[in-house]
Amino acid sequence: MWFRRLVLLCCGLMAFGAVPALAVDTCAPATCAPSTCAPATCAVRTCAPVTCAPAPVTCQPAVQYVEKTVLCPTWVTEKRRVTVTECRPEQRTYTYTVCRQVPETQQVKRQYTVMVPEVHKRTETYTVCRPVWKQVQRECTVMVPHTETRQGTRRVCKLVPVQEMRTVCEDQGHWEERPVTTCCPPTPPTCAPAQAVTTCRVWVPKIVQKQVPVTCLKPQWVEEPCTYTVTVCRPEKRTYTVSVCAYEQVPMTREVCYTVCVPKVVERVEQVTVCKTVTEQKTATCTVMVPYQVEKEVEVQVCKMVPKTIRVPVCAPPTCCAVKHVRHLRRGC
């Protein structure tokens, strides 16, 4: 409803000359009728050519205003009484218990075990390995190298002459004598440079292409027989004498001294310091914050709706251009 009222208000202001121009979408065919009350121009998009056809339009009556009352939000500062919790300091005395360690020396008899070393002897039997050398015959296989001559083939790269035709460029030009103008040094009394004509020979080139036979050497792989020597190893059995060391075990006896630790119980008197706990009562003073409630007057920002009278223009009946403009707005152009 408010959008329709706004459209009608704009159309009425345009008809009475308050709005200088009207935006019209020409994507669809539309015509604009000029008003006899005030001139108006049409700003159009260039989607398609638009022509304004004259149409009989009568002048609309003057815009009427109606008074309406609206509520406007206004911030007002007010004073209100509130209850606030505050703290005040108070001196208080309390008693607490303190534990103190008092050292005390005592004599205590203690028994402990001491390890006393003692030397003992024992007889041990052990085995000794003695080396014994023997001559042993052994056989082994030895690879004996032999040289052999073998026949085979190999690939050899040879250069073979081949005759080909090549295109070469040959200069078949000739000499020509052409006149050339040269400047001579100035001579008195005119002191002006003189010109002399001389003849010089000039080579006139003439490039001619022709086919020339050329003999080229091209590589070619050829297989040919060859003789080569190969070393081949053949197995042979041989006998040789080796000295082998064999070990014999011989039992032997010996006396060994060893030390053994024997435990013994010993008693002695020691002085031990023991700490005893002694309690004491002490008094201390401290400051405590005690809360209490107080009523205070504070300033508070309050938003109030204040009535206000405004003048609102009332739109006259819509004209042809206004109706078309409303249609374009509804279509979204």
| 67-83: pLDDT as tens digits | 888 888 999 888 888 88
44, 123, 111: which is closest to 325 by C-alpha? 44
HEC readout, 83-130: EEEEEEEEEEEEEEEEEEEEEEEEEEEEEEEEEEEEEEEEEEEEEEEE
Helix (H, G, I), strand (E, B) or coil at 57: coil
| Rounded (5°) CA angle 132-134-138 | 145
Write the DSSP string, 199-243. Answer: EEEEEE--EEEEEEEEEEEEEEEEEEEEEEEEEEEEEEEEEEEEE
Q: Which residue intervals of the chain are DSSP H helices?
A: 2-15, 320-331
| Mean pLDDT of all residues in 240-259 | 90
H or E segment at 296?
Answer: strand 207-314
The answer to pTM > 0.85 is no
DSSP secondary structure letter of residue 58:
P
Residues in CB range of 304: below 8 A, 6 or more apart: 73, 74, 75, 76
Name the average pLDDT for the chain. 77
| Mean pLDDT of all residues in 283-292 | 90
Q: Which residues of 50-68 are buried (b: 16+ CB within 10 A; e: fewer)?
A: beeeeeeeeebeeeeeeee
pLDDT of the residue at 17: 42
Q: How many CA atoms lie within 13 A of 125 on its CB side?
A: 3
Whether the Cβ atoms of residue 268 and residue 113 lie closer than 8 Å to each other = no
Question: pLDDT tens-digit profile of 42-61?
Answer: 333 433 444 444 444 444 55
Pairing of strands 64-171, 174-187: unpaired
Helix (H, G, I), strand (E, B) or coil at 332: coil
Q: Report the C-alpha gap between 269 and 242 in whole angstroms.
A: 78
| Mean pLDDT of all residues in 198-215 | 88
Pick from 4-13, 19-28, 160-169, 215-224: least confident: 19-28
State yes or no: pLDDT of 157 exceeds 80.
yes
Binning pLDDT at 50, 70 and 90, where does residue 316 land? low
| Rounded (5°) CA angle 259-262-264 | 150
Q: Which residues of 210-249 are buried (b: 16+ CB within 10 A; e: fewer)?
A: eeeeeeeeeeeeeeeeeeeeeeeeeeeeeeeeeeeeeeee
- End-to-end CA, the chain: 20
Pairing of strands 64-171, 207-314: antiparallel
State yes or no: pLDDT of 153 exceeds 70.
yes
Give whole-number Cα distances, 223 to 23, 156, 157, 230, 321, in Å: 98, 6, 9, 20, 106
